[in-house]
Amino acid sequence: MSGGRGGAGAGAGARGAGAGPARCSAAARPGSPAAPGPSAAAAAAAAAAALGLRAAALGLRAAPGMALRRGGPAGRGRLLLLLLGAASLVRPGAQVRRLARCPATCSCTKESIICVGSSWVPRTVPGDISSLSLVNGTFLEIKDRMFSHLPSLQLLFIEGNKIETISRNAFRGLRDLTHLSLANNHIKALPRDVFSDLDSLIELDLRGNKFECDCKAKWLYLWLKMTNSTVSDVLCIGPPEYQEKKLNDVPSFDYECTTTDFVVHQTLPYQSVSVDTFNSKNDVYVAIAQPSMENCMVLEWDHIEMNFRSYDNITGQSIVGCKAILIDDQVFVVVAQLFGGSHIYKYDESWTKFVKFQDIEVSRISKPNDIELFQIEDETFFIIADSSKAGLSTVYKWNSKGFYSYQSLHEWFRDTDAEFVDIDGKSHLILSSRSQVPIILQWNKSSKKFVPHSDIPNMEDVLAVKSFRMQNALYLSLTRFIGDSRVMRWNSKQFVEIQALPSRGAMTLQPFSFKDNHYLALGSDYTFSQIYQWDKEKQLFKKFKEIYVQAPRCFTAVSTDRRDFFFASSFKGKTKIFEHIVVDLSL
């Protein structure tokens, strides 16, 4: 018997018998008259049918004289007693499968369902059907696990709907699915790995959809090249350059769908003014000048902890520069000091530390501001730029026993930076100064000395000059504290300006590269430091990222263990180590 509050399941009259046949009639609302139900005999007959086999197996039969007649109170009472007795013999927890009803908009067989014009996935169907078609419906979205109640599906056709969005886990659980059609919908993109659970997929039909073949389609592009499934052509509607092309015919997404970034990897709790890096016996080291702590701190890369740790410490007075020199498996470090003279240290393997090797004449170097290492004809040199009024920027040469002063350059110019550069196969030094424009000295092969060659006009008050190459072209970056810093390019006759960068308060404009990515780091004492990236199409540097470093004095690139970093020294705050990472925009 089905009461007024009965749902689509068993009626109230069947409660004592466990479960009744499935019903699709709506439940009566509270307070309304009870919906008419079948007769007690009909309900009992249905329940008896459900329990018939079980009752027969238990040997249940009517007693003599107890005919199971359809009418009369006695017959109905005896029938109910019989059903109650049979129900009492059923094991606890035993369930009787409900009969499924085919939805009104669908056509059903034992193994397949075809729904036309439907807006929902039928749920009152057997879970073991193998084929489901949803045709010409109004679906806008395929949600997560939308077909998880049909784990035996082998064929799924969702065609001619209005689907625009598909969730990543839409087909989760359909491991037996062999054929999937999403043809003739409004799909422009598919979530990454949406087909990853379809282990048995043989054929996929995506015709009639127009895809945006941008970075979000990169995973599909790669999947199409690797899958063993037969997939229909995937046509592109955009971007404009790919319109009406097949996704398989699109060039590689590697360049368009990746970008780079700089993230803080490590912070060192001390100030610094210069950073130099060197390799020794397959290990990477970094020498950091710390004037306030009167140290030249040598760090090494820890391959286990994946960070930089302290290795050795060279003490001194007001150290402003530490420059490593490698000669015949020997490691030297030039330590430039404002007071007490500058010195050269050598690594002693027996002591596993740096020990003093030689002094640098105090009379020649009064106020060192930069150290530059270079080689000419397999001979090793370094120059110290002296920024004092009466100072002499001096070139030193290695003579197999030590370093000696080789050539003193111009006086009274207060040099702030020296840069060695090869111009058209000839060795040059560019000296920048607060009192004149940068001058260019050329190596004379006859006298084996540097001689004045030219200058860079209209570039007064340049603090530093750095050289770099991109696509075989030679460039210079010129740092200016007041006014605009400059980027210049060599045109076979002279350096010409290609870009001006606003740089009020800048003390360094450092070029560096990681693989095919070229950058300029512009450090500022007054605001955030700015990283620029080279734009190949426009042939200019464009703003890329702001970083905060207090009073930066140096940016140095370091690569190890297939990872790329740059150190940002800080004269007033903590030294920071940034990691250069590649970001996949298709994720």
579 and 444 within one domain? yes
Report pTM: 0.74
Q: Which of 206, 165, 208, 222 is nearest to 189 (CA)?
A: 165
Query: What pLDDT does 100 receive?
Result: 65
CB atoms within 10 A of CB 7: 13
- Identify whether 334 is part of a domain: no
The reported pLDDT for the residue numbered 193 is 94
For residue 356, tell me if it sits in a domain.
no
- Measured CA to CA in angstroms, residue 73 lies from 40, 69, 146, 157, 541 at distances of 11, 10, 50, 54, 98
Q: CA-to-CA distance for 184 and 118, rounded, in angstroms? A: 16
Rounded distance between C-alpha atoms, residue 171 and residue 143, angstroms: 9
Residue 42 located in a structural domain: no
Q: What pLDDT score does 255 carry?
A: 67
Average pLDDT over residues 302-320: 97
For 316-389, strand residue ranges (E) read 319-327, 330-337, 342-348, 353-360, 368-376, 379-386
Q: Are residues 286 and 419 in the same domain?
A: yes
pLDDT, residue 30, reads 38
Lowest mean pLDDT among 22-26, 387-391, 571-575: 22-26
Averaged pLDDT for residues 235-253: 90
Q: Which of 225, 252, 279 is the last residue of a domain?
A: 252
The pair of three-digit structure tokens given for residue 449, joined into one six-digit string: 């000395």
The 10 Å CB-count burial string (b at 16+, else e) for 300-320 is bbeeeeeebeebbebebeebb
Same domain, 432 and 461: yes
Q: What are phi and psi of 564, to 5 degrees?
A: -120, 135
Last residue of a domain, one of 217, 234, 252: 252
Residues 127 and 244 in one domain: yes
* Tokens read off for 259: 């970008």
pLDDT confidence bin for 362, thresholds 50/70/90: confident
* Measured CA angle at 72 (ends 67, 74), to 5 deg: 60
Look at the chain and count its residues.
587
174 with 294, same domain? no
Taking 50 as the threshold, does the pLDDT of residue 22 lie above it?
no
Q: Are 361 and 352 in contact (CB under 8 A)?
A: no
Which distant-in-sequence residues (6+ apart) come within 8 Å of 329 by Cβ?
Answer: none
User: Considering its fold, how many domains does the chain have in total?
Assistant: 2
The pLDDT of 458-486, averaged and rounded, is 95
Judgement on whether residues 457 and 309 belong to the same structural domain of the protein: yes
Distant-in-sequence, close-in-space partners of 455: CB < 8 Å, separation ≥ 6:
436, 437, 438, 439, 440
Per-residue pLDDT tens over the stretch 322-357: 999 999 999 999 999 999 899 999 999 999 999 999
Which of 206, 232, 252 terminates a domain? The answer is: 252
Q: 93 pLDDT exceeds 50?
A: no
What is the average per-residue pLDDT within 518-530?
96
**465 shares a domain with 540:** yes
Which of 124-128, 263-267, 425-429 is least confident?
Answer: 124-128
**Tokens found for residue 455:** 């200058």
Co-location of 524 and 404 in the same domain: yes
Report whether 215 contacts 256 (CB < 8 A).
yes
CATH code where residue 495 lies: 2.120.10.70
The rounded distance, in Å, linking the Cα atoms of 532 and 542 is 5
231 and 199 inside one domain: yes
Q: What is the mean pLDDT of residues 27-51?
A: 36
Q: Note whether 202 and 263 are same-domain residues.
A: no
Whole-number average pLDDT of the chain: 85
pLDDT digits (tens, 9 = 90+) for 170-208: 999 999 999 999 999 999 999 999 999 999 999 999 999
- Residues 449, 506 share a domain: yes
pLDDT of amino acid 324: 98
Supply angle C-alpha 285, 336, 406, rounded to 5.
105
**How many helices and strands, by DSSP H and E, does the chain display?**
3, 39
Q: What is the DSSP string of 211-260?
A: EE-SGGGHHHHHHHHH--SEE---EEEESGGGTT-BGGGSPPSTTTTEEE
pLDDT above 50: residue 26: no
Residue 16 counted as domain residue: no
CB 129 within 8 A of CB 111: yes
Query: 420 lies in a domain?
Result: yes
Contact 322, 296 (CB under 8 A): yes
Say if residue 245 is in the same domain as residue 272: no
Expressed as residue numbers, the domain containing 411 is 259-315+364-584
Q: Is the pLDDT of residue 75 over 60?
A: no
User: CB burial class (10 A; 0-12, 13-18, 19+) of residue 335?
Assistant: buried
In 3D space, the residue among 374, 335, 339, 329 whose CA is nearest the CA of residue 356 turns out to be: 335
Q: Which helix (H) or strand (E) holds 78?
A: helix 73-88
